[in-house]
C-alpha cells in the first residue's frame, strides 16, 4: 500500500497563465480568410456596426495550437486524474459509446423528420425504456427529462396528476428525509407542495417513527434517496413504502445513486411508485461541466397514463411517436429527450447483462468500503459500517492542528487528485464524501489513500502548508465567498 512516506505532491505547474491576447503580435496570422464581397453595412443597419475593429489575438497557427494544448493540460478530468467526486458520479465512459452517438444517422437526425426516416432513433428510445423497466421492475418510463432534478420535477407533476385524478386535492405535502439530495425538497416546492422534513436516526437512516408521525391525509408522496447521501441503504425501506401507501400517499425513490443498486435489486420490489434515474451517472454518459444529462422517470403501470408526451410506441413492427394521450401531464421539454445521452446509456446497457451490472455495483461498493476502512483512523467515517458506493468521512480539526475539510480538499489538488465533494451532506459535520466508482484500480485507490495520509501528516508537522494549499496550481487559495459574490471573469 502507498504510505504517507512515499506519497508526494504532483509536479508543480506554477508557470504563469498567459492569455492568447497577451501573446498577440500585430500582423501575425495563422489563416487568411477571403475578403467579403460587400461591406457589412450592406447586410446590417448602421447602428449595429462597430465603430472600431475588435481587438483579437493575432497568432500563428503553431502558437494557437500550443496555447490551447497548454490550456488542455491544466484540466482535471477522468482521462488524467482520479475523480473521487461523490454525489455526481464521474464514471468511466467507454469511448465506443461516443462513436455510436456520433454516427451521422443518429447525430444528424432532424426532430421533425418523418417517423419512417428515423426508425433507428425511435428504436433505441423504445428499447431503452424496455431496458430500464427490466432493471427497475417498473411498468413504464419516459426519457424526456433533461437531467436528474428535471426528472424529480416531472415525477412530482405525475404524483400531482394522480391525486387530482382521484379528486383528492387535500394532499398538499411531500415528506422528505434530511439525508436526501437537496434537489428533492426543491423539486417538491417547485411542484407546489409543502415540504415536511424527517430527520435521520443516529445510524444515518430515516427515523421510521418520525416518518409515520409525519404521514397523514395531507401527504401526497414520500421521497427517499436510495442509497441515501451518507452512503447507506435504507434497511427499513419496505416498512417505509408500506407506511406511505397506508396513508394514501405515493412512494418516490431518487435513483441518482442507482450505481450501487443495479443488478442487485429492483426498486419495484421496495414498493416504489415513481423514481428517476440519471443516465449521465449510472450509465456512464459523462456529465462534466453541467451537462447534457438525462433523467428518465419510471412509474408503476397505474401511473403510466400521467407520463409526459411524446412517447415512442411500437405498432405492427414500426416505431411511432404518440403525442395525444389522455391524462398525460403534457410536454416537459421539446422533442423526445437528449438523444445523444440516451443513446450512450442505451449502448452501455446493451454491453452488459444482469450479471455484469451486478458486478459493477458490487465493485463500486467494494471500492468505497476499501477507502473507508483504510482512512478511518485519520478521517473517521460519519457512520462506521458497511457503506454502499460512497463513504462519508470527516475531518477532525481538533486532531489535525485546526486543519478543516476544505484545507484537505485543496491540498489534494497538489497531489494530483480532484477534490471530493465536501460539506455535503449537510447532516455530517466537516463532511468529506468519497465516491471512487467501480472502475478505479486498487493501485489508484492506494495512491489516493497515501495522499490523504500524507496530508494528515503535513497537518501535524506544518499546518500552514495545508492551510495555504493549493500551491502548485495556476491559482492558489481563492477567497471563495468573495469570488462567488463578486465574480471577476473579465480580462482587465
CB 384 within 8 A of CB 441: no
Of 182, 174, 140, nearest in space to 157 by CA: 174
Mean pLDDT over residues 339-350, rounded?
95
- Any idea which of 56-70, 120-134, 250-264, 287-301 has the lowest mean pLDDT? 287-301
Q: Which residues contact 476 (CB under 8 A, 6 or more apart)?
A: 468, 470
Of 465, 428, 434, 462, nearest in space to 179 by CA: 428
Per-residue confidence band for 288, with pLDDT thresholds at 50, 70 and 90: low
Phi then psi for residue 437, to 5 deg, are 65, 170
What whole-number distance in Å separates Cα of residue 417 and Cα of residue 253? 32
- Any idea which of 14-28, 50-64, 435-449 has the lowest mean pLDDT? 14-28
What whole-number distance in Å separates Cα of residue 137 and Cα of residue 266? 5
Predicted local distance difference test score (pLDDT) of residue 1: 40
Phi then psi for residue 303, to 5 deg, are -100, 0
Predicted local distance difference test score (pLDDT) of residue 195: 98
Q: Which residues contact 207 (CB under 8 A, 6 or more apart)?
A: 198, 199, 200, 201
Predicted local distance difference test score (pLDDT) of residue 278: 92
Q: Which residue blocks in 376-441 are alpha helix, DSSP H?
A: 405-414
Higher pLDDT, 432 or 487: 432
pLDDT at 426 over 50: yes
Question: DSSP string covering 126-175, please?
Answer: HHHHHHHHHHH--SEEE---SSHHHHHHHHHHHHHHHHHHTT-TT--EEE
Question: DSSP string covering 73-108, please?
Answer: TT---TTTS---BSSS------HHHHHHHH-HHHHT
What whole-number distance in Å separates Cα of residue 78 and Cα of residue 84? 10
Give the CA-trace dihedral at 232, 238, 241, 245, to 10 degrees: -170
What whole-number distance in Å separates Cα of residue 280 and Cα of residue 344? 9
Determine the distance from the C-alpha atom of residue 285 to the mean position of all C-alpha atoms in its chain, rounded to a whole number: 10
CB 391 within 8 A of CB 381: yes
Distances (CA, A) of 458 to 84, 123, 267, 401, 422: 21, 56, 45, 10, 20
Of 10, 435, 432, nearest in space to 227 by CA: 435
Buried b (16+ CB within 10 A) or exposed e, 193-210: beebebebeeebbbbbee
Amino acid at each position: 500500500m502507498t504510505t504517507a512516506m512515499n506519497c508526494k505532491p504532483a509536479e508543480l505547474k506554477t508557470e504563469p497563465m498567459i492569455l492568447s491576447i497577451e501573446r498577440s503580435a500585430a500582423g501575425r496570422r495563422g489563416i487568411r480568410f477571403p475578403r467579403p464581397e460587400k461591406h457589412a453595412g450592406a447586410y446590417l443597419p448602421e447602428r449595429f456596426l462597430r465603430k472600431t475593429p475588435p481587438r483579437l489575438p493575432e497568432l500563428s497557427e503553431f502558437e494557437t495550437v500550443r496555447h490551447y494544448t497548454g490550456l488542455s493540460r491544466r484540466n482535471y478530468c477522468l482521462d488524467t486524474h482520479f475523480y473521487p467526486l461523490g454525489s455526481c458520479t464521474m464514471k468511466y465512459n467507454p469511448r465506443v459509446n461516443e462513436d455510436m452517438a456520433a454516427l451521422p444517422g443518429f447525430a444528424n437526425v432532424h426532430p421533425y423528420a418523418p417517423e419512417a426516416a428515423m426508425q433507428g432513433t425511435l428504436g433505441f428510445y423504445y428499447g431503452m425504456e424496455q431496458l430500464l423497466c427490466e432493471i427497475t421492475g417498473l411498468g413504464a418510463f419516459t426519457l424526456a427529462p433533461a437531467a436528474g432534478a428535471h426528472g424529480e420535477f416531472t415525477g412530482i407533476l405525475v404524483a400531482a396528476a394522480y391525486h387530482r385524478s382521484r379528486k383528492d386535492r387535500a394532499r398538499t405535502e411531500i415528506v422528505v428525509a434530511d439525508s436526501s439530495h437537496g434537489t428533492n425538497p426543491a423539486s417538491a416546492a417547485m411542484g407546489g407542495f409543502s415540504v415536511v422534513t424527517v430527520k435521520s436516526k443516529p445510524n444515518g437512516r430515516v427515523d421510521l417513527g418520525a416518518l409515520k408521525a409525519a404521514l397523514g391525509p395531507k401527504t401526497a408522496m414520500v421521497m427517499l434517496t436510495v442509497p441515501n447521501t451518507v452512503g447507506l441503504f435504507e434497511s427499513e425501506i419496505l416498512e417505509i413504502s408500506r407506511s406511505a401507501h397506508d396513508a394514501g400517499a405515493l412512494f418516490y425513490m431518487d435513483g441518482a445513486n442507482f450505481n450501487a443498486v443495479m443488478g442487485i435489486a429492483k426498486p419495484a420490489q421496495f414498493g416504489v411508485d415513481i423514481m428517476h434515474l440519471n443516465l449521465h451517472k449510472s450509465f456512464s454518459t459523462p456529465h462534466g461541466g453541467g451537462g447534457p444529462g438525462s433523467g428518465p422517470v419510471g412509474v408503476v403501470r397505474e401511473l403510466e397514463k400521467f407520463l409526459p408526451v411524446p412517447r415512442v410506441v411500437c405498432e405492427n413492427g414500426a416505431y411511432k411517436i404518440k403525442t395525444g394521450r389522455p391524462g398525460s401531464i403534457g410536454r416537459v421539454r421539446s422533442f423526445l429527450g437528449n438523444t445523444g445521452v440516451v443513446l450512450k446509456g442505451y449502448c452501455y446497457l446493451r454491453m452488459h447483462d444482469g450479471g455484469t451490472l451486478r458486478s459493477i455495483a458490487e465493485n463500486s461498493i467494494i471500492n468505497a468500503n476499501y477507502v473507508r476502512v483504510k482512512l478511518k483512523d485519520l478521517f473517521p467515517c460519519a457512520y462506521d459500517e458497511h457503506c454502499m458506493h460512497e463513504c462519508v468521512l470527516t475531518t477532525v480539526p481538533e486532531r489535525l492542528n485546526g486543519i478543516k475539510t476544505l484545507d484537505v480538499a485543496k491540498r489534494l489538488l497538489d497531489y494530483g487528485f480532484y477534490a471530493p465533494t465536501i460539506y455535503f451532506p449537510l447532516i455530517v459535520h466537516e463532511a468529506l464524501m468519497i465516491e471512487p466508482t467501480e472502475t478505479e484500480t486498487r493501485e489508484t485507490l492506494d495512491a489516493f489513500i497515501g495522499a490523504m495520509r500524507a496530508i494528515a501528516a503535513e497537518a501535524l508537522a506544518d499546518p500552514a502548508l495545508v492551510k495555504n494549499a493549493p500551491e502548485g496550481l495556476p491559482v492558489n487559495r481563492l477567497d471563495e465567498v468573495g469570488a462567488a459574490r463578486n465574480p471577476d471573469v473579465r480580462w482587465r
